[in-house]
Homo-oligomer: A and B are copies of this chain.
Amino acid sequence: MKQKSKKPSFNSATAVWSLQDAYRGPGHLIRRLQQIAVAIFMDEFKNLDITPVQHIALVAIRDHPGLEQQTLADLIAIDRSSAGRIFPFLEQRGLIERITPPNNRRAKLAFITPAGTRLLASGVRLIRQAEQRIMKVLNEKEQRVFMEHLRKLVNINNTQSRAPLRMRSIKNDADRLNVAE
């Protein structure tokens, strides 16, 4: 009964791909983890009535005043189309304002409102709790290792996705808005 010394962590080389293989493979597990993370976030934020993507979009707008759609898409790694749907939503809820600068009539620069700032302030505790709830099944060392692997996977594979993250060194987007802010 000699066993193969290097049993792969997934993806054994059989001729068929069974449901059991799927359970063990990264694809299915990553999808499940994403489902779980979203569910926990929604549970924590149920009183604030905001989704994970809307939340990070609002954070990006606060940290980069004067964002437009493409810049937001790059900053939080969503495509232009999705970004275009988030703006009207946040605007309609009064969390952001959009201003068309006089020197560029096609742009609409986004700024967070006091209501948006308040929402983010009350969300700080919640998002920390959400992250704790997801990760607490791992001990501290495991968490560190897992996060490191996660960052490695995401950073190196970044360009593989259709909406890669493009961190920008923006001093202040509002500079392009030549009106008193």
* Chain A interface residues (CB < 8 Å from chain B): 6, 9-11, 13, 15-19, 22-37, 39-41, 52-53, 56, 59-60, 63-64, 75-77, 120-121, 123-124, 127-128, 130-135, 137-138, 140, 142-154, 156-158, 160-163, 165, 167
Q: Given B30, B131, B143, which contacts A150 in the complex, CB threshold below 8 Å?
A: B30
- Copies of this chain present in the complex amount to 2
Known: A35-B163, A132-B11. A138 touches B124 (CB 8 A): no
Q: Given B29, B64, B148, B162, which contacts A154 in the complex, CB threshold below 8 Å?
A: B29
Q: Knowing that A9-B146, A31-B52, A33-B34 are A-B contacts, what are 17 other residue pairs whose CB atoms are under 8 Å apart, sorted by A's residue number? A: A9-B144, A10-B147, A16-B120, A17-B59, A18-B63, A19-B63, A19-B64, A22-B59, A25-B127, A30-B34, A31-B53, A31-B77, A36-B160, A36-B161, A135-B153, A138-B153, A146-B153
